[in-house]
Amino acid sequence: MDKVLVIVGDATETVDTLYPYFRLQEAGFQPVVAAPEKRRYNMVLHEIGPNWDITREFEGYKIDADIAFRDVVPEEYLGIFFSGGRAPEYIRYDEDLVAMTRHFFDANKPVGCVCHGVEIPAYAGCVKGRRMATVPKCQFDLEVCGGIFVDSGCVVDGNLVSGRTFHDHGQYMGHWIRLLIEAREEQLVQAVAG
Point out the residues that are catalytic: 115-116
Rounded distance between C-alpha atoms, residue 105 and residue 40, angstroms: 28
Please state, in angstroms and as integers, the Cα–Cα distance from residue 112 to each residue in 13, 51, 58, 115, 178, following that order: 15, 32, 24, 11, 11
> Helix H segments across the chain?
14-26, 87-91, 95-106, 119-123, 139-144, 169-193
Q: Which residues of 141-177 are buried (b: 16+ CB within 10 A; e: fewer)?
A: bbeebebebbebbbbbbebbbbbbbbebbeebbebbb
